[in-house]
Structure 1
Amino acid sequence: MSEIANKLLEGTSKPAPRPAMLVLEDGAAFRGTSCAAEGEVYGEICFNTSLEGYLEVVTDPSYAGQIVTMTYPQIGNYGVNPDDAQAGEPALRGLVVRDMCTAPSNWRSVLSLPDYLRDHGVVAVEGVDTRALVRHVRDCGAQRAVLSTVDVDEASLLRKVRASEPLVGQNLAATVSCEKPHAVGAGDLPASHAFAVAPAVPACHRVVAYDCGAKRSILQNLVRSGCELTVVPWDTPAEEVLAMAPDGVFLSNGPGDPEAVEGTYSQVEKILGQVPVFGICLGHQMIAKAAGAAIEKLKFGHRGGNHPVMNLLTGRVEITAQNHGFGLVFPSLGELVPELSGGFKGHEDDLRFWARAGIAPVVDNPRFGRIRLTHVNLNDGTAEGVAFLDIPAFSVQYHPEASPGPTDAHYLFTAFGRLMDGREDYLDIDIAADRLAGWTFGEQAATVAGAEGGSHA
């Protein structure tokens, strides 16, 4: 930067610029300035389209092994409250933003995002043309990348990134799972969330949750919906889980290549059919792997809080929060059952076909019987949810806990409780009525609406 530009910056909240560079393995390079910890990190480049919730993104264990680009232009403007963190430490490798706010303004803010990132040793860069970067990843696909504040030589960084380890084949779930079983209860819910979220309902179901990189808010939502929760490491033997006599088993989100997490899906295969099972994100893929399905790597993944998903059972569209780079290949679960699939006999690669047809197709799985496709991504036609018809189990590819993101999918926690109660109609829920369940502003809105209705009577 020029001397006059540096002089102008000295009079603002921005620190003196320090050069940083991001280089992708295909040779694409993006220059910027460091805005957090110093260092050099390697990972798979990805992007998140959420408008808010940057702290939840930074601390989501599902981002282990990745360098995350935020598409929203200014990040950090409302600061950081540690109660909103999804794990004790950030798991991502690095962060890329257009503009980093160093002087946040919000009544809940405890410190700035740059200070939080520095405290936790996270390398971050600002001043990058994130629109150009995202377009490049969309066109060319996910790939290895290096982010450095100590080496800004393009040729040097390109050599390094091409020699780095790819994400495919790594068991990253093992790096972010808990070390030993532990309980999560109502006493673990953040007191600072009470202004918006209602207290937990009394526990009525005993649930064991496999931690493959679980976000705190997902576990908190299980507790709020009435689960007495025991969290176990990713590779806990099925025999130990079943010996706890749970009413249900939950399979969490998590990072990386699902093919590498055999320690989980080999145990899930033993649990399916024994107790009700609910899986999300990586947990959805663990159920699919247990059923013998194939998993594909998506070109650039789904990450953000605005992904439209159609519930094929109800025809309703949910705006969902997602974070994954792999997905279920639905046809690999088995052959279609024509009499339960609108008479159709052949699979479709683009699952939006079933959304247009208004049909939730069913396959005959060699291991677990009939499995129904319940949810489809309307952006690219990939599988977003399945329900087993002959055993009590279902799963979705997205995150229903809204941290960050919309609350459309909250009904899935309600559905899990109904499944554990033995109800066959567990997924038959009015999502419009359920989406504000547990939020105090939902109760306040109902109270105001009631008062207004009374005043007009």
Structure 2
Amino acid sequence: MKPNFKPSILVLEDGTYFKGWSSPSPYTVTGEVVFTTGITGYQEIITDPSYAGQIIIFTSPEIGNTGTNDEDNESSQSNCAGIITRNFCYSPNNWRMKKDLSSFLNQEKIPFFYGIDTRILTQHIRTVGAINGCMSNEVLDKQTLLKKLKDTPSMKGLDLVQQVTSPKPYSWTTMIDPAWNFYSTNKTSQAAEKLIVVLDCGVKYNILRYLATYGFEIKVMPASSSAKDILSHNPDGILLSNGPGDPSAVTYLKQTLQSIFQKRIPVFGICMGHQIISLALGGETFKLKFGHRGINHPTGIFQKIEITSQNHGFAVNAESFDDPDIQITHYNLNDFTVAGLAHKTLPIFSVQYHPEASPGPHDAKFFFDIFHKMVVTQTH
């Protein structure tokens, strides 16, 4: 059933505005306006903690066709500021469906704005870059919302990890659905009794599912955990997760890693984790014009590529490293920004994209194999 339509407005900080519709629940929210080009996986995207503080434009012309279910959430709660789409499907149909998308959004208290030409809005963001915006169905006056935007901080310099990281450590045991289990019994037995500490910058559940399916024991710890607390668990491997905000603002985790690296514990970083590892190794990061958000980004080097799922607004400066032992292993082949790196003498590697790919292709899942091999053969 369609909800009662309510007029709504989106105002960008450069004065551009769009008039559309929303659900009847009142809202006025601000956030960085970004776009994602994936045509599947809207539930996973909406529940991805990396979108904290952002208003997501879905470039797919309609979302909601398969409703929502209880299995595909990537976190315990949604952290995005709001979503924008051309159209909602109000008659979804899928055998796994529990509720339609609009009901899910109302349950999660996520404002949604629709009925505009998202192509024009996306082209504008591509031209001017990702900028702050304000969505409201309470206040429809453009000038009033522009004044509100002046008090909205820029994403650059913003530490949002503290908003999404777990407040306390916890264990994780849930594996990937057996129907999709492509791991051998041999790998599972090799990983038995090996402990992985996951530093939670905003971890997606599918990363944890992958690790659990290998047979690892998993301890998820807050991003603010000290090196002493992390090492007290005697981890066999450490994974730094994805997360939102500016990686250069997460200085405490950078310092923690620098204390851990010389222990020669295998360290694997994904997305935000990749950026913080890079900072800890002496590199620098910078803000991309409009980021990489989608499930068809080609990455690779030396004429070999993987099609990957990506979601990040910052990148690593390849020219900022002085250490000859740091090797760039992958580039984003759309703009040749750094997409992966490894250390030649320490068991450290990272990728800017999502090998757990939820949603997205599984070309890059072999990185979990690499991490598995490093952990089970370590000699530190």
Q: 1:309, 1:377 within 8 Å by CA — same for their partners in 2?
A: yes
Residue 271 (structure 1) aligned with residue 256 (structure 2):
no
Q: What count of residue pairs does the alignment treat as equivalent?
A: 373
Match of 1:242 in 2: 231
Unmatched tracts of structure 2, length 5 or more: none
- Cα deviation, 1:189-245, whole Å, max 9, x if unaligned, reads 47xx34444688344331111001000111111111232111100011112212211
Q: 2:211 aligns with which of 188, 210, 222?
A: 222
Match of 2:279 in 1: 289
Match of 1:14 in 2: 2
- Cα deviation, 1:385-440, whole Å, max 9, x if unaligned, reads 0010011100000011110000001000001011223489xxxxxxxxxxxxxxxx
Task: Give the aligned residue type for 1:290.
Answer: A
Q: 2:175, 2:210 within 8 Å by CA — same for their partners in 1?
A: no
SS of match in other structure, 2:157? coil
Task: Give the aligned residue type for 1:51.
Answer: I
SS of match in other structure, 2:113? strand
Q: Distance in 2 between matches of 1:126 and 1:103?
A: 16
Q: Report the alpha carbon displacement of residue 154 of structure 1 after superposing the two structures with TM.
A: 1.7
Match of 1:260 in 2: 249
Q: Distance in 2 between matches of 1:227 and 1:311?
A: 30
Q: In the superposition, relative to structure 1, how do residues 161 and 51 fare at CA in structure 2: closer, same or farther (>3 Å)?
A: same
Q: Report the alpha carbon displacement of residue 35 of structure 1 after superposing the two structures with TM.
A: 3.6
Q: Report the alpha carbon displacement of residue 38 of structure 1 after superposing the two structures with TM.
A: 2.7
Task: Give the aligned residue type for 1:93.
Answer: A
Q: Distance in 1 between matches of 2:34 and 2:284?
A: 23
SS of match in other structure, 1:83? coil
Q: 1:268, 1:290 within 8 Å by CA — same for their partners in 2?
A: yes
Q: 1:281, 1:398 within 8 Å by CA — same for their partners in 2?
A: yes
Q: Distance in 2 between matches of 1:392 and 1:70?
A: 38
Q: In the superposition, relative to structure 1, how do residues 36 and 78 fare at CA in structure 2: closer, same or farther (>3 Å)?
A: farther
Match of 2:87 in 1: 99
Q: Distance in 2 between matches of 1:237 and 1:229?
A: 18
Residue 371 (structure 1) aligned with residue 326 (structure 2):
yes
Unmatched tracts of structure 1, length 5 or more: 1-12, 335-362, 365-369, 425-457
Task: Give the aligned residue type for 2:207.
Answer: I
Residue 169 (structure 1) aligned with residue 157 (structure 2):
yes
Q: Distance in 2 between matches of 1:216 and 1:65?
A: 19
Which moves more between the two structures, 106-115 or 37-46? 37-46
User: In angstroms, what is the RMSD of aligned CA positions?
Assistant: 1.7
Task: Give the aligned residue type for 1:269.
Answer: Q
Task: Give the aligned residue type for 2:112.
Answer: A
Residue 305 (structure 1) aligned with residue 315 (structure 2):
no
Q: Report the alpha carbon displacement of residue 30 of structure 1 after superposing the two structures with TM.
A: 1.1
Q: 1:98, 1:127 within 8 Å by CA — same for their partners in 2?
A: yes
TM-score (norm 1): 0.79
Q: Report the alpha carbon displacement of residue 160 of structure 1 after superposing the two structures with TM.
A: 1.5
Q: Distance in 2 between matches of 1:77 and 1:417?
A: 37
- Cα deviation, 1:90-135, whole Å, max 9, x if unaligned, reads 0000000000112210000000111011011110011121100110
Q: Distance in 2 between matches of 1:122 and 1:179?
A: 22
SS of match in other structure, 2:71? helix
SS of match in other structure, 1:416? helix
Indicate the structure whose relative CO is greater, using CA pairs within 8 Å and at least 6 residues apart.
Answer: 2
Q: 1:36, 1:125 within 8 Å by CA — same for their partners in 2?
A: no
Q: 1:36, 1:114 within 8 Å by CA — same for their partners in 2?
A: no
SS of match in other structure, 1:82? coil
Q: 2:266, 2:378 within 8 Å by CA — same for their partners in 1?
A: no
Task: Give the aligned residue type for 2:229.
Answer: E
- Cα deviation, 1:69-94, whole Å, max 9, x if unaligned, reads 01001111100012110111100000
Paired residues for 1:35-434 under 5 Å: 35=23, 37-185=25-173, 188-189=174-175, 193-197=177-181, 201-202=188-189, 203-204=191-192, 205-274=194-263, 275-312=265-302, 315-334=303-322, 364=324, 370-422=325-377
Q: 2:309, 2:360 within 8 Å by CA — same for their partners in 1?
A: yes
- Cα deviation, 1:34-84, whole Å, max 9, x if unaligned, reads 047430111000001111000000000000010000100111110001211
Q: 1:35, 1:100 within 8 Å by CA — same for their partners in 2?
A: no
Q: Report the alpha carbon displacement of residue 162 of structure 1 after superposing the two structures with TM.
A: 2.5
Q: Report the alpha carbon displacement of residue 165 of structure 1 after superposing the two structures with TM.
A: 2.0
- Cα deviation, 1:118-174, whole Å, max 9, x if unaligned, reads 011110011121100110000000111111111112222122212322222221101
Name the structure where helix makes up a greater proportion of residues.
1
Q: In the superposition, relative to structure 1, how do residues 401 and 37 fare at CA in structure 2: closer, same or farther (>3 Å)?
A: farther
Match of 1:358 in 2: none
TM-score (norm 2): 0.94
Task: Give the aligned residue type for 1:294.
Answer: E
Q: Distance in 2 between matches of 1:141 and 1:111?
A: 35
Q: 2:308, 2:355 within 8 Å by CA — same for their partners in 1?
A: yes
Q: 2:309, 2:361 within 8 Å by CA — same for their partners in 1?
A: yes
Larger Rg: 1
Q: Report the alpha carbon displacement of residue 311 of structure 1 after superposing the two structures with TM.
A: 3.9
**Once superposed, which parts of structure 1, at least 4 consecutive aligned residues long, lie more than 6 Å away?**
none
